[in-house]
Amino acid sequence: MINARLRGLFLRFRRCRRGAVVVEFALITPVMMMALVALADYGLMVYQNTELSEAASAGARFAMTEGNQDDDAGIRAAALSSLSDSINATVTVIRQCRCPTGGAVACDSECSGEIVPGRYLEVVVNCPYAMIFDYPGIETVDSLQSHAVVRVPQ
Coil, helix or strand for 114?
Answer: coil
Instruction: Give the model confidence (pLDDT) of 122-148 as tens digits.
Output: 999 999 998 888 888 878 888 999 999
**pLDDT of the residue at 148:** 93
List CB contacts of 93: < 8 A, sequence separation 6 or more.
59, 63, 72, 75, 76, 121, 122, 123, 124
* pLDDT-based confidence at residue 6 (cuts at 50, 70, 90): confident
Give residue-wise pLDDT tens across range 45-88: 999 999 999 999 999 999 988 777 888 899 999 999 999 888 88
More reliable by pLDDT, 41 or 140: 41
SS3 (DSSP) at 102: coil
